[in-house]
Structures are given as structure tokens and as C-alpha cells.
């Protein structure tokens, strides 16, 4: 199925699918669980539009490329350009949707790339590396500084976090990204993953939730 931004009531969002800007190690406990240093400023990387697939559909894992890890993240859909020096009000107003995503990662390959000081994209930007949910309108979502997220796999709680735990909060993160490169309408920002990442297996059923606001169920294709 071709991906199209849409709200959780089924309304299509008339925005193109752009780039996906991701932030690494934005939860200190996740950085520690992978024995990574906690960064002093946001660690940014990009997934192309070709990495995005609908979260509600079952998805395939790459074969013959090592373990694929799940990382559950709050996703922000950008609805207005953000570039250069941006005030907090403009950053907040540019968010047109709040959702969930999986940042799928070829962990062994990523470790090899990190050891060589190389970029991560080979491990992060492959086709279907970003299953993305529908979005809720910002006024229907919890406050940006108190956004919970949760992942269950086969009925077992694997990840649980809250945006209050982020090293760089959501609005400051958007301001930082805009100072590095322009965000355009249709772009998506993934805001980091809490601790609890692990390996996905064929047949796994995943339930991602913003409790009381959004729930999406998906499955790893067998």
C-alpha cells in the first residue's frame, strides 16, 4: 500500500511525503543501554521518503542483513516551513499532526558503521525502515512536554516513555533542526526512543500507543 499522510479519523492530509528527520539518543536511558555517550546537542540523521510505509500494514524485515531492532518514537508532521532562527510559538504552530513511528535499525551494521566513524544511513534508511502511523490533530493530543508512548510486542510491554524525559524537548528540537536545515510541509520529525529496544522477529505483533489518544497495531510479515 502506498503511504499517504492522514488523520486518525481517516481524513487524508493534503501534504506530500517529504524527508524524515530523526534524532538519536534523545532519551538518556536509551543511550546508556547501547553504551553510547549522552550527546550534548541533538544527534540528527535523515530517512528518505522511500523508507516510509503505513504502520497499520504488516511490514517485511530485510533478509540476510543481520538483526533488525525496533525503536518506538513520537512522530511530528510538519505543516509549515521552518528555517533558520525560529521562535517557540512558530515551532509549535508548524506541527499539524502527532503520531507514532518505528525507527527500524540494522543494529549490527550500525555498530560497524559507528566503529568506522561512518554515517548511519545504510543501517537506518533502507526501504520500509520507517513504519509511520496516522496522526492526531495537535489539539487532540497530550501536551508536547507530557506525551506518553508505549510499545507492546506479542502482549508484552517492551518500551514505555514520556516526552518529559527527552534530553532536548520537542519545541527546542524543532528549533534546533530548523537552524541546521529547512523543514518543509509534509516532512516528519522522529523525536527519539526510550529504553527497551530489541530484536524483531517474523510474526511479531506490535501495538504502539499514545495512551488515551492513539493506538496502532501492526505485524512483522512472516
174 touches 168 (CB < 8 A): no
Query: Cell 534524532 maps to which residue?
Result: 23
Tally of CB atoms within 10 A around 46: 16
What is the C-alpha separation between 48 and 94, in angstroms, rounded?
20
| Total-model pTM | 0.95
99-132 confidence digits (pLDDT tens): 999 999 999 999 999 899 999 899 999 999 999 9
SS3 for 210?
strand
Quick one: pLDDT band at residue 25, thresholds 50, 70, 90?
A: confident
**Which residue in 91, 136, 129 sits closest to 110, CA to CA?**
129
What is the C-alpha separation between 176 and 189, in angstroms, rounded?
12
**Which residue in 99, 60, 59, 51 sits closest to 79, CA to CA?**
99
For the chain, which domains are there? 20-219 (3.90.850.10)
Residue 1 pLDDT > 90, yes or no?
no
31-75 confidence digits (pLDDT tens): 566 566 777 789 999 999 999 999 999 999 999 999 999 999 999
Amino acid at each position: 500500500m502506498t503511504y499517504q499522510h492522514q488523520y486518525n479519523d481517516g481524513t487524508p492530509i493534503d501534504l506530500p511525503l517529504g524527508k524524515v528527520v530523526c534524532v538519536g539518543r534523545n532519551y538518556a536511558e536509551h543511550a546508556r543501554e547501547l553504551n553510547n555517550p549522552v550527546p550534548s546537542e541533538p544527534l540528527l540523521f535523515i530517512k528518505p521518503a522511500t523508507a516510509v510505509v503505513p504502520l497499520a500494514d504488516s511490514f517485511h524485515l530485510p533478509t540476510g542483513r543481520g538483526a533488525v531492532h525496533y525503536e518506538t518514537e513520537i512522530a511530528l508532521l510538519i505543516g509549515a516551513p521552518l528555517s533558520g532562527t525560529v521562535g517557540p510559538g512558530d515551532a509549535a504552530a508548524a506541527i499539524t499532526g502527532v503520531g507514532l513511528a518505528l525507527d527500524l535499525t540494522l543494529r549490527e551494521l550500525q555498530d560497524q558503521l559507528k566503529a568506522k566513524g561512518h554515517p548511519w544511513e545504510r543501517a537506518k534508511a533502507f526501504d520500509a525502515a520507517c513504519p509511520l502511523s496516522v496522526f492526531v490533530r495537535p489539539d487532540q493530543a497530550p501536551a508536547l512536554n507530557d506525551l506518553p508512548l508505549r510499545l507492546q510486542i506479542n502482549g508484552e510491554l517492551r518500551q514505555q516513555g514520556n516526552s518529559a524525559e527527552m534530553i532536548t524537548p520537542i519545541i527546542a528540537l524543532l528549533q534546533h533542526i530548523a537552524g541546521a536545515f529547512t523543514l518543509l510541509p509534509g516532512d516528519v520529525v522522529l523525536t527519539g526512543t526510550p529504553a527497551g529496544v530489541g530484536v524483531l522477529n517474523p510474526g511479531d505483533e506490535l501495538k504502539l500507543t499514545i495512551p488515551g489518544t492513539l493506538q496502532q497495531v501492526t505485524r512483522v510479515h512472516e
